[in-house]
Amino acid sequence: MATTEDINKSQQPNKASELGKDNKETPYHCGTVALLGVPNVGKSTLMNRIIGAKVAIVTPKPQTTRHRILGIHTDEQRQIIFVDTPGIHKGAQQLNRNMVRVAYAAAEEADVLAIMQDASKPLDMPTKKLIERFADGRLKQPRIHVLNKVDRADKSRLLPRLKQLQQLDPGAKAYIPVSARKGTQTDSLLKELTKYLPEQPAIHDPDWFTDQSQRQLAGEYVREQVFLSMHQEIPFQTAVDIERFEDLGDIIEIEAVILVGSERHKPMLIGKGGGGMKAVGTKARLGLEEILGCRVRLNIWVKVDEDWFDHPGKLIELGLGAGNE
């Protein structure tokens, strides 16, 4: 199983040390790449595509990613440790502020910055300001701009968009159009990122593809289904707390609590005759059984916790405090 309770275990002596060691003809590259951008530009989709596994949940709704997630790509030439970050946005609530801090902290710690945008839409002001902020020279890491969703973009507008981007950030190392959904140009992106990573052996075992524990994955898979099933403001005022995760050998038993920020949201989430919860639980269970490789028994409850998303103590308890990353 590629997930773990503690990614530091992967830094113990193992076969990772053999990748890139004493290879003088073709230097091995290993380092971290921060995936940055405003919400819904496809950061999680791109990472999942490159890793070849669903390590980050994906929904059409903004702010799906709430904390830093590692996805590890390893081959014979490189090990790239992708850091999927929350979308950078403005928000008055403590949760929103924590998410943005996590994204900027990841940028400061990375070896390379991959700044993403949605090429299928006109360049908006939040994206423009984000590009200008990273282009101001305060961070010295190489910058690569990734224009995602080119499969949905007007091809006649792509070249002007690239020229506009070059004007905004002339110091960037590359500007690469990709389609994370279809995998278009992702190999070219990997080659370009590799140029700017440190020459060193692999850090993590090549069989590892994420730093998330099975328990964390369970919470994320449940939350993904809540996001997909709910509308309007409800998803952003929900969180998932895994109260019990027990591996019994032939089956994993999980007890999850979905927190909602308002009493009126509870019946909307549960649905008529409990149908809403049943659908969320069934879809989350099937996804978990696929990635965990065994049977899963998943029990879900809904609990009201007024304004949990604006309470620093509760956010820390849920692993969503800025200092938890």
pLDDT of residue 237: 76
Which segments within the chain are labelled E, that is strand? 29-36, 69-74, 78-84, 112-118, 143-148, 174-177, 238-247, 251-260, 295-304
Provide the 10 A C-beta neighbour count for residue 124. Answer: 12
Q: What is the pLDDT of residue 22?
A: 53
Please, how many CA atoms are within 13 Å of residue 277, restricted to the half-sphere of its CB? 20
pLDDT of residue 320: 59
Q: CA triplet 39, 80, 181: central angle to 5 degrees? A: 45
Residue 325's pLDDT is what? 44
CA–chain centroid gap for 308, Å, is 22
Q: What is the per-residue burial (b if ≥16 Cβ within 10 Å, else e) of 229-242?
A: bbeeebbbbbbbbb
Q: What is the mean pLDDT of each run of 10 residues along the chain (325 residues)?
A: 37 51 76 92 94 80 66 96 77 59 84 96 92 91 97 93 95 97 96 97 92 87 85 70 93 93 85 89 92 92 81 67 51
Give the residues across from 183 on adjacent strands.
none
Tokens matching residue 251? 């089956």
What pTM was estimated for this model as a whole? 0.78
Could you give all domains of the chain from N- to C-terminal order, each with its CATH number? Answer: 7-195 (3.40.50.300), 214-324 (3.30.300.20)
Cα–Cα nearest to 307, from 262, 242, 240, 257: 262
